[in-house]
Amino acid sequence: METYFLDWANLLLRWVHVITAIAWVGSSFYFVFLDNNLVRPNSPDLLEKGVDGAMWAVHGGGFYNPQKYMVAPKKIHTPLHWFYWESYSTWLSGFALFTVLYLWNAGTFLIDQSLFAWSPVAAGATAVGLLVAFWFVYDAISRIFGFRENGEAWVGGLMFLVIAFSCWLTCQLFAGRAAFLIVGAMIATAMSANVFFWIIPGQRKVVAAMTSGKTYDPMEMAIHGKRGKQRSVHNTYFTLPVLFAMLSNHYSFLYTHEKHWLILLLMMLAGALIRQFFVQRHAWNHQRAANPWPFAAVGVVIIIAVVVWLRPAPAPAPSAAPAVATLAQVQTIIAQRCVSCHGEQVQMKNIRLDSADTLRQHAQNVYQQVVVTRQMPMNNATGITEAERATIGRWFQAGAKAD
């Protein structure tokens, strides 16, 4: 019964997490687009109001005229909308999902005993600690180097090294699937922390100064805007790497590879480069790089190189037709490798495989999870062999009916 309710919690939290992530990523991309397309107006009335950039757009049958004030408008005539719950809801739902799926079952999902044998409590505490540690390292780098000459290049280079080390370290400590997710969660935590600790507090100070009726220093207020813009730009470059890390843990051919940490790093780098292309491509000509296409080209080349690198070796020609596997052979394998999690006592995912009828009923899932995607047994905790996977494959391909 506990497993049943955990599955529902997993499904509903995942649903909420995806919805809130779409809202956050969408608003983030939109505001980066705005920043890159707002043009300083020539109209005296707009300049007098303090408008630093404006644009016209059409959508849904209506015309829109977004305007940006470099410090703050003299007066806000309608309710002020704050963009932060998209970020907070995404992180909270993601951490709740991580807790239900990974921390609650740390011994199954976080730990690969053949890689690093430690207790579930230690593994869970380390995973959470890495989320916090990554934020402090990133925040320190951004504050120390961000506003120096060529500061963003320094931040980018140092963060590449930090993320590379993070990919390597997590893949030494955790099961591959969990390692990919933890790296994505580390970066996502920094993104949400940017909103919580810097972007929103800075905006609140500007609004408070503007509405207080007291004289305030525009230069001091401009610092909050500058810092908020810096962290917002960082977040947009983090977005595609995070999305890849979160999605890739569903594809075992990535996280089971001998060099899975390098695969993760290269694919996230490709995502950041492709995002850079879109940022530059959507800018007005006076803001645009001379030619942003090399960013996309390098990103695509990296992806193609990884695809070629990971391609499976050609299967050797069989010397003789393989014998059809029997149900009895498959039941022996399932009893040794799968029934501990899918038997009478425990039915993870509400699936039992401890009888001939239930094994036939779930034959498609068994074949997909054990032979095709190779995601089961989880982290190969029960030590299933390649020969045993092949036996299950032959049994299913023969119709899963042979006795």
Question: Is 204 among the domain residues?
Answer: yes
Per the structure, the complete domain to which residue 391 belongs is given by 327-397
Question: Is 322 among the domain residues?
Answer: no
Map tokens 């909308």 to a residue: 81
Nearest of 96, 170, 164, 89 to residue 129 by alpha carbon: 170
Question: Is 102 among the domain residues?
Answer: yes
Domain co-membership, 64 together with 124: no
Domain co-membership, 89 together with 207: yes
Q: How many domains does the chain have?
A: 3
Domain co-membership, 221 together with 361: no
Helix (H, G, I), strand (E, B) or coil at 62: strand
Token reading at 398: 């023969």
Domain end, chosen from 263, 280, 310, is at 310
CB of 268 closer than 8 Å to CB of 241 = yes
Domain co-membership, 180 together with 254: yes
Query: What dihedral angle (degrees, nearest 10) is formed by the CA atoms of 118, 123, 129, 134?
Result: 90
Domain end, chosen from 283, 310, 337, is at 310
Question: Is 315 among the domain residues?
Answer: no
**Per-residue confidence (pLDDT) for residue 36, from 0 to 100:** 82
Domain co-membership, 161 together with 186: yes
Rg of the chain (C-alpha set):
26
Domain co-membership, 153 together with 198: yes
Q: What's the rounded Cα separation, in Å, for the pair 202 and 196?
A: 10
| 238-257: pLDDT as tens digits | 999 999 999 998 888 899 89
Sign for the CA dihedral angle at 270, 272, 275, 276 comes to: negative
- Segment (H or E) for 92: helix 85-98
Does residue 302 have a pLDDT over 90? yes
**Per-residue confidence (pLDDT) for residue 373, from 0 to 100:** 79
- Cβ-based neighbours of 319, under 8 Å, separated by 6 or more: none
Question: Is 403 among the domain residues?
Answer: no
Domain end, chosen from 310, 344, 359, is at 310
Question: Is 368 among the domain residues?
Answer: yes
Question: Is 177 among the domain residues?
Answer: yes
| 131-182: pLDDT as tens digits | 999 999 999 999 999 888 888 899 999 999 999 999 999 999 999 999 999 9
| 3-39: pLDDT as tens digits | 778 878 888 999 999 999 999 999 988 888 888 888 8
